[in-house]
């Protein structure tokens, strides 16, 4: 296959990292020499929608990619904090914190629009059972006590269990309901 | 040699990355399985003391370590934004954004104190011609037109030249003087 | 008519500017020598409820007022960023960023209360078909593909079309739904 | 009775202070020599869910505790501003702004979890008619014109009336509805 | 004369507005149909280097331009708050808050560099007795009790006197010295 | 003696609390029923000029006032975070976080001016050997190894020793010098 780009960015929040994310990374890696995996909303954790710290999310991604034998010189993981709802400056923050890149892989309409308005090349990613492989669905299943192990790489499953992530999620849900 | 720690952190601003930083990283790598290189004050750039963006600094570090044949599965580079002078929350921000680590390598007294007060293990790094290999000295030499190529890895030198970093530094100095 | 005040303020977000805003400005101009049009939440853009940048909103207002032959020496347009939910400091931020004024024109209960508690004179504005002429209604109609041209000054309509504002709004709605 | 701790913290928002809060403070005071009453979200006011300033909330607490003959050398009231949703740094902010303490009294799941993850001792408080004595219920009753005087200490009731707090709440509700 | 640009930006802090600023504006107006006068560091006031609020600075500029018979439909005055030292996002903040522009007029090296790196056209302004007509010199003369009236437009002089600006500056200097 | 005011505020940073501060508080207490001791720059610590956390400063003040037999129902200690150099909003932040007060005691020119411009009554405090009893002098003596015990209340001296405050100060000075 012909390498089209030297460096691309794949943007996600990874709350938590699931098999859909893995598919996207594999697709993006087929298009670039090197992929920057941007861990968005890096400052958030301990809310029901954003339960894991950036550090925990980086750990998940590294373990999952290692199990897939993706070589560490093919990707960089970079956490980026939000601009607190000020979308107009987000792209220039990203370009300041990340090494130079040529293409952005995303299906998210706002992310796509912001990069396009700033003059970047944006490519979409083939969808892969999107309803099933979604962080919202993983969190819902953890809360409901349904099977979620099948939605995430096994390294991510055992990591979340090891840090008590399922119990944390239940606490956060109770906290949201009370407030 | 006996590996003492699984994961450690080395903290720096790398404005720019020089040979002293490289020595420190090599020393720290001899003590840990995996090293997190924390790029501090990640939000700063375009001031005389902090001329380079986090993205540019990450690029410098990667190129220099590659030239030294340091394998990419031995280290992680993570940019961390400041807490705007609120030192008391900085360590908990770092522990949130970084994967778990057991030891901090630093000679900087404030960094050392903050981690110690938070209960972390801190190790100092053998000094290596500290007056010569300092980012302040590199910036001074760039401005004065003296030899600075010998103070930084050759990949860093050519990278800075390629992005016009020397010219940027001169503009920033003039701007500081006027304001 | 007797001029009652030298300078007044009219507060709005103008997402987008519609004919109701125009009526309010004409009313306020009949009460003051000079009117400051405060463009609130100036930092926000690219969300469904706040789609347009402050710059775009300023452009809309200027074009609409020019078409109405309102002379530019009668008004000033000043964007003001939010205080991120900290309402208690908002009035003192406004008084710092705006030239001195004697009266505030608003029907919004919180704005009214904050200025009154700070000792300002506040006047309400006669309502003019409020359900119809509302930014929420304009945004809804753009999304639903209904007639919205009749709700905004014609200069605003053609400006929004020219910057692809209708398409942006649809992207933002899709983004909100996914998150 | 045996004093178990020298100093503890009781965390609340007190929007407004009600009889349930008073019961909690009395309970906590039976377990510590000295109690820090942490007034959370200190920066917020003038929203329907957070109508009162920190200053007003401190005034309520002092008046209520004085009426109960709780001696002022038994407690400290300290306002603490939020960390704007960045939960991971909140505990270290609290430990920086408060004098040293040994135990935290709270039933709120997130507060409990954050302090536990940071290595603090956390004690829960016996529930006392929680549905009735809740700030949400007090605010609802003020709006609906139902009896709320019985839910708050009498000093708090007369204070809220004296500052027009009931009228403020009605304005804030109207403002929320319009936006 | 041939109009070269439709809209340009002139960036300044105007602490206070002096005759050098006036010359720059007149020069820039000869090159554009419409000029945006960007009042920078809009959030700052009450420090020795930044004594005046954005509102006061806007007032100075309007009075001075009116006395010069510069028509109000030729310019817009827009205050912009800093990005707290994060230079890399400043240009994208400016482009979000200002209506679209084609050229930037500035001699300040950092401002010039930031706009150039972002792909904007930047023009320099012919210098006009720069040592004399500088805000630093005006502030120094006010403090030393030397003639400063000749350095600023007469409308600015009388405005500063009318708001007690000279006395404020002396207080601010004493405050700086003590701290 | 005639009580003139019900409640006043005394503003300080208390880095550290010294005998001059104690004299000021005793003076202010002679003029008011109740005194709010505002601990300014509450977010700062671990810099050479601001070495102690707000919690530590509150501890110092309480211990010193207790040793002077000043009854705890005469005063309130309230920490207030800075507005990051935005002076124009500081007074409204203070009035939001503090219970209502009638007078401010301060000799600091900026604090005085900000409260006066906001319409508050400000009283100055008789000076008491200001060169000697200053936090700058205490910090200098700690660093130089000179006698500083005589400048602070004995409870403050033993508290600072107990938390290793003198050693911390030396670390912070070394850190400043290196950076």
| pLDDT category of residue B130 using cuts at 50, 70 and 90 | confident
Q: Tell me if A97 and B72 make a contact (CB, 8 A cut-off).
A: no
In this prediction, what percent of chain C has a pLDDT beyond 90? 89
- Mutation for testing the B interface, residue in A38, A62, A99 having most B CBs under 10 Å: A99
Selected residue of B92, B115, B120 to mutate for chain D interface (largest D Cβ count, 10 A): B92
- C-beta atoms of B79 and A77 within 8 A: no
Chain mean pLDDT for chain D: 94
Q: Quick one: pLDDT at residue C178?
A: 66
Tally of CA atoms within 13 A in the half-sphere of D143 that contains its CB = 15
From the list E43, E168, E172, the residue facing F86 with the nearest CB is E43
Q: Which of residues 67-86 of F touch C (CB under 8 A)?
A: 83
Q: Is the pLDDT of residue D175 over 90?
A: no
Name the neighbours of A, counting chains with at least 3 Cβ pairs within 8 A: B, C, D, E
CA angle C146-C148-C150, nearest 5°?
125
Alpha carbons B132 and B147: distance in angstroms, whole number: 12
Answer whether C172 sits within 8 Å of A114, measured CB to CB.
Answer: no
Residues of D in contact with C86 (CB under 8 A): 43-44
User: Which residue out of F113, F114, F118 would a mutagenesis test of the E interface target, given it has the greatest number of E Cβ atoms within 10 Å?
Assistant: F113
Chain A residues near residue C171 by CB distance under 8 angstroms: 109-110, 112-113
Note whether E73 contacts C72, CB cutoff 8 Å: yes
Say whether E45 and F88 touch across the interface (CB within 8 A): yes
Residues of F in contact with E53 (CB under 8 A): 88
What is the predicted pLDDT for the residue at F1?
47
Model pLDDT, residue B169: 96
Alpha-carbon span B106 to F178, nearest angstrom: 13
CA–CA separation, B8 and B29 (whole Å): 9
**Residue D34: predicted pLDDT:** 97
C and B interact (at least 3 Cβ pairs within 8 A): no
E117 touches chain A (CB under 8 A): no
Mean pLDDT, range E4-22, rounded to an integer: 96
Q: Which of A84, A111, A113 sits opposite C168 (nearest CB)?
A: A113
User: CB distance D81–F76 less than 8 Å?
Assistant: no
What pLDDT does residue C2 have? 54
**Residue E110, CB half-sphere, CA atoms under 13 Å: how many?**
20
Pick from F42, F43, F95: which is nearest to D55 by CB? F95
CA distance E163 to B68: 64
pLDDT at C1: 47
Work out the average pLDDT over C157-169: 97
Q: Within its chain, how far is the Cα of F61 from the centroid?
A: 8
Percent of chain C having pLDDT more than 70?
A: 97
For the record, the structure tokens of A60 come out as: 């998940």
Q: Do F88 and E175 touch (CB under 8 A)?
A: no
φ, ψ for residue B12 (rounded to 5)?
-160, 170
Indicate contact of D with B: 3+ CB pairs under 8 A: yes
pLDDT tens digits, one per residue of C147-158: 999 999 999 999
pLDDT tens, position by position, E39-67: 999 999 999 999 999 999 999 999 999 99
Mutate to test the interface with E, among B173, B175, B177 (most CBs of E within 10 A): B175
Instruction: Give D13 to chain B, closest Cα distance, Å.
Output: 22
How much is the pLDDT for F3? 55
Partner-chain residue, chosen from D84, D87, D112, that has the shortest CB–CB distance to A84? D84
The yes-or-no verdict on residue D170 having pLDDT over 80 is: yes
Which pLDDT score is estimated for C179?
Answer: 61
Determine contact: A87 vs chain C, CB below 8 A: yes
Cα-only R_g, chain D: 16
**Of F59, F76, F97, which has the smallest distance from its Cβ to D54's Cβ?**
F97
Mean pLDDT of D48-64: 98
Note if the bond before E16 is cis, omega within 30 degrees.
yes
Whether D109 sits inside 8 A of A174 (CB atoms) is: yes
The number of beta carbons lying within 10 Å of the beta carbon of residue C123 is 17
Is residue F93 within 8 A of residue F80, CB to CB? The reply is: yes
Predicted confidence (pLDDT) per residue in B90-109, tens digit: 999 999 999 999 999 999 99
Could you tell me if D88 lies within 8 Å of chain B, comparing CB atoms? yes
With CA atoms as reference, the chain E residue closest to B54 would be: E88
- Mutation for testing the D interface, residue in B86, B87, B89 having most D CBs under 10 Å: B89
Average pLDDT value for residue range D130-145: 94
Q: Any residues with CB less than 8 A from the CB of D42 and at least 6 apart, and which?
A: D54, D79, D80, D81, D82, F97
D93–B93 CB contact, under 8 Å:
no
Question: E with F: 3 or more CB pairs under 8 Å?
Answer: yes
- Token pair of B1 as six digits: 């040699």
Q: Does A142 touch chain B (CB under 8 A)?
A: no
Strand bridging mode E103-105 / E5-12: parallel
A78 and A62 Cβ atoms separated by less than 8 Å: no
Contacts of F96 in chain C (CB under 8 A): 88-89
Task: Assess contact for B44 and E90: CB atoms under 8 A.
Answer: no
The neighbouring-strand residues paired with D12 are D39
State pLDDT tens for residues A122-156. 999 997 777 889 999 999 999 999 999 999 999 99
**Helix, strand, coil percent content, chain E, rounded in steps of 5:** 45, 15, 40
Over residues B126-143, the mean pLDDT reads 90
pLDDT, greater one: C1 or E22: E22
Domains of chain A: 5-178 (3.40.50.620)
Is B131's Cβ below 8 Å from some Cβ in F? no
The pLDDT confidence band at residue D105, using thresholds 50, 70 and 90, is very high
Contact F172/B85, CB-based, under 8 Å? no
What percent of chain D clears pLDDT 90, i.e. is strictly above it? 89
Q: Which residue of A has its CA nearest to B61?
A: A99
What's the pLDDT band for E175 if we cut at 50, 70, 90? confident
Q: Do C174 and A109 touch (CB under 8 A)?
A: yes
Predicted confidence (pLDDT) at residue C130 exceeds the cutoff of 70: yes
Can you list the residues of chain A whose pLDDT is less than 70?
A: 1-3, 178-179
Report, as an integer, the average pLDDT of E27-47: 97
Work out the minimum CA distance from D81 to partner chain B, whole angstroms: 14
pLDDT > 90? residue B1: no
**F88 and C92 in contact by Cβ < 8 A?**
yes
Question: Is the pLDDT at D79 greater than 90, yes or no?
Answer: yes
- Residue A158: C-alpha distances to residues A48, A137, A149, F166 (Å): 20, 18, 9, 46
On the question of pLDDT at D49 being above 60, the answer is: yes
**Minimum-distance CB partner of F108 among E45, E47, E178:** E178
For residue F100, the 8-state DSSP code is: P
Q: Up-side HSE of residue E166: CA atoms within 13 Å toward CB?
A: 17
- Substitution target from D82, D86, D92 for chain B, most B beta carbons within 10 A: D92
Ordered per-residue pLDDT tens for chain F, 179 residues: 455 899 999 999 999 999 999 999 999 999 999 999 999 999 999 999 999 999 999 999 999 999 999 999 999 999 999 998 899 999 999 999 999 999 999 999 999 999 999 999 999 999 777 788 999 999 999 999 999 999 999 999 999 999 999 999 999 998 877 66
As a whole number, the mean pLDDT across chain E is 94
pLDDT tens digits for C22-43? 999 999 999 999 999 999 999 9
- pTM: predicted TM-score of the whole model, two decimal places: 0.95
Sheet holding F103-105, edge to edge: F75-79, F32-39, F5-12, F103-105, F121-123
C-alpha span between A13 and A80 (Å, rounded):
10
């Amino acid at each position: 296959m012909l390498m089209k780009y030297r460096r691309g960015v794949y943007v996600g929040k990874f709350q938590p990292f699931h098999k859909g994310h893995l598919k996207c990374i594999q697709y993006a890696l087929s298009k670039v020499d090197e992929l920057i995996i941007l861990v968005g909303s890096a400052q958030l954790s301990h809310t029901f929608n954003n339960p894991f710290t950036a550090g925990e999310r980086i750990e998940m991604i590294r373990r999952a990619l290692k199990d897939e034998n993706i070589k560490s010189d093919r990707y960089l993981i970079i956490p980026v904090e939000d601009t607190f709802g000020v979308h107009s400056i987000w792209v220039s923050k990203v370009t300041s914190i990340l090494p130079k890149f040529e293409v952005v892989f995303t299906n998210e309409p706002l992310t796509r629009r912001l990069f396009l308005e700033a003059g970047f090349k944006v490519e979409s990613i083939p969808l892969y059972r999107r309803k099933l492989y979604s962080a919202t669905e993983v969190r819902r299943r953890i809360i409901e006590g349904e099977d979620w192990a099948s939605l995430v790489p096994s390294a991510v499953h055992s990591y979340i269990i090891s840090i008590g992530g399922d119990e944390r999620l239940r606490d956060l849900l109770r906290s949201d309901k009370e407030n």
